[in-house]
Amino acid sequence: MKSPEFWQNIIYRQYRLPENYTLNELTVELVGYLGSPDPEYRDEYAYMILANWIYKGVYEPHQLNALLDQMQQNLTHGLGEYGTDSVFLRSFSMLILGTIIERDNQAPFLKVNDVRRVLDDIVLYLANEEDVRGFVMDKGWAHAMAHTADTLLYLSQSQHIGGPQLEMMLATISSKLTQPIGYIYQHDEDERLAVATIGIMERNLVSMPVYQQWLGELVAGLKSPMGDPVMNVVYQNIKNYLRSLYIQLILMPRPTESMRNLRHQVLIAIQHGHRYAK
């Protein structure tokens, strides 16, 4: 385990690869830090250095493909656990996945099946992720939901993602929000999910009937009995998400007619939520 000074020197030198070390050697060590409970090694060194090397083109396409495969495998590590440190490896591997997809959006190197397989793995991962804590005392950010939302945003912008895949993303978001997890998202997860949803909407590949059905599923979650503490959490998460989505739609500088229509539909869903809450 190299010292903090070693990694800080890489950052100080604009992420240049240090002499006498191979890229593969350092990558293996950094990938190991993605699951560290130490936020300095996990956030500041592992994530920041790997992400910068990806963006700066330090990795060749075949190396990025190998890294992509590793991150996808990491999503299954300890999946289903709650309150353990295994969440860090899953969540920060998700961030690296998103970084690789964003890199492909800028300078394509992935094949269509590679990108769609990432989406399939994310759908399966999110359905089974139980540990959705945001900030963990003394260990920093876990933030599995926010990191997944960021990766969904990058996927929504991929040339390899079409209408059916965008509909799958919408269904994945609604399924997670209506899942009785017993945890209120309180660290901007709703906003980052809303931004990802806007990314889906901006592709203009999903029909209005599909959006109406999707919003109907979310509204159904707002009907949950307020006397049930767990289902009340579902209500709060859906309500906060719809409000964040509505705000994002309002803030669009030049909304299309379709976006204005969607904004109206989301407002109707929010109004349903207020009605059921009384």
d(CA 50, CA 99): 9
User: 3: exposed, middle or buried (C-beta count within 10 Å: 0-12, 13-18, 19+)?
Assistant: exposed
**What average pLDDT score do residues 115-128 get?**
98
**What average pLDDT score do residues 189-213 get?**
97
Express each pLDDT in 31-90 by its tens digit.
999 999 999 999 999 999 999 999 999 999 999 999 999 999 999 999 999 999 999 999
pLDDT confidence of residue 276: 52
Rg (CA), the chain: 20
pLDDT confidence of residue 274: 63
Place of tokens 């359905």: 127
Instruction: Give the start-to-end residue ranges of the domains of the chain.
Output: 4-161
The 3-state secondary structure of 103-166 reads HHHHCCCCCHHHHHHHHHHHHHHHHHCCCCCCEECCCEECCHHHHHHHHHHHHHCCCCCCHHHH
pLDDT confidence of residue 224: 61
